[in-house]
Amino acid sequence: MSRDKTGEPVMSDADTRSAIWRAFVECFPQGLFVIERLNGMSEALHSVLARQGRKKFGLPTAEQEATLAGNDNLDHLVALTEKLLDANTWDELLAE
């Protein structure tokens, strides 16, 4: 741990995030279940979009695949499942 000019310890961003995470888990043990469930929902939506998109549009480019994989916003992923019905290409689906 580094120290400031007065010699007081200064926490790094990683230390701060870790401390916040530990406090969250200690105070809200059920929070882990919620986070795991949200992660599972995100993975399921990614899988559905990838499978149905490949069937409808063919294989995505590496850039298109990275764009889809980089999106972890559940509301946006759900919206993409609806947009998939009307889109004609990967680019159209992934356009903002």
Using one digit for the tens of pLDDT, what is the confidence trace for 9-65? 776 777 777 777 677 667 766 666 666 666 788 888 899 999 999 999 999 999 999
Q: According to the model, what pLDDT value does residue 23 have?
A: 74
Can you tell me whether residue 96 is helix, strand or coil?
coil
Q: What is the pLDDT of residue 20?
A: 73
Mapped onto helix, strand or coil, the DSSP state of residue 30 is helix
* pLDDT for res 93: 96
Residues contacting 61, CB < 8 A, separation 6+: 90
Whose tokens are 């999106």? That residue is 71
E-strand stretches of 1-96:
2-3, 9-10
Q: Is the pLDDT of residue 71 over 70?
A: yes
pLDDT band at 82 (very low <50, low <70, confident <90, very high): very high
pTM: 0.63
